[in-house]
Amino acid sequence: MIQSRLKILLFYLLFVLSSCSDKKAKEQKTISKEVFPDSTEKHVLFVQWQYPQEVDFFDAMDVRHKLENKIDNALRSEGVGEWLYGDMGPGGANMGYGVFKNQSRAIEIILQILAIEKIEKNTVIATDLDYVDNKWAYKILYPSNYNKELNPL
């Protein structure tokens, strides 16, 4: 029973990763240049939904996929950013967005969507992600009073 579920999980992950990466890679090559022709630098906003323990991993992954699309569409429609990547970590659904201009507006858009989905209180937004001396370095942008570590990436 466990082996069959693991096989299904592995197949699902491979399918989702390959289909999403192919589609997004094609979109990023064309849309980035069209929407942001004068941009020279992209800043990454890292969004981590720290879903409750009672939420099933696969349900959390579905929520993450829906969020990625909603946020990506909203950022693109205002010309401020786009989806870059997403993955699942222990207790956290991770999403990365490239922002070319107006970072505060991009954060507003993201928070509006998270509020509609009623998960903004379980979400952290950070920037300047880097891996230095075997530790992640970042700056928390939301919530302003967040004083814990991000879930492992």
Q: Are 82 and 35 in contact (CB under 8 A)?
A: yes
- The domain that holds 43 is classified in CATH as 3.30.70
pLDDT at residue number 1: 53
pLDDT at residue number 12: 44
What span, in angstroms and rounded, lies between the C-alpha atoms of 128 and 62?
A: 27
Q: Is residue 81 classed exposed, middle or buried when 0-12, 13-18 and 19+ CB atoms within 10 A define those classes?
A: buried
Q: Are 127 and 43 in contact (CB under 8 A)?
A: yes
10-residue stretch averages of pLDDT, the chain, 153 residues long: 47 45 42 40 87 92 96 96 91 92 92 96 86 80 86 68
pLDDT at residue number 39: 45
Print the domain residue range for 111.
Answer: 2-142
Q: Is 14 left (phi over 0), alpha (psi -120 to 50) or beta?
A: alpha
Asked if residue 92 is part of any domain, the answer here is yes
121-132 burial code (b ≥16 CB/10 A, e <16)? eebbbbeeeeee
Asked if residue 148 is part of any domain, the answer here is no
Asked if residue 151 is part of any domain, the answer here is no
pLDDT at residue number 151: 75
Asked if residue 28 is part of any domain, the answer here is yes
What span, in angstroms and rounded, lies between the C-alpha atoms of 31 and 98?
A: 12
pLDDT at residue number 30: 34
Q: Are 122 and 63 in contact (CB under 8 A)?
A: no
Asked if residue 30 is part of any domain, the answer here is yes
Asked if residue 105 is part of any domain, the answer here is yes
Asked if residue 87 is part of any domain, the answer here is yes
Asked if residue 44 is part of any domain, the answer here is yes
pLDDT at residue number 63: 95
pLDDT at residue number 16: 45
Cα dihedral sign, 22-23-28-33: positive
Number of structural domains (the chain) is 1
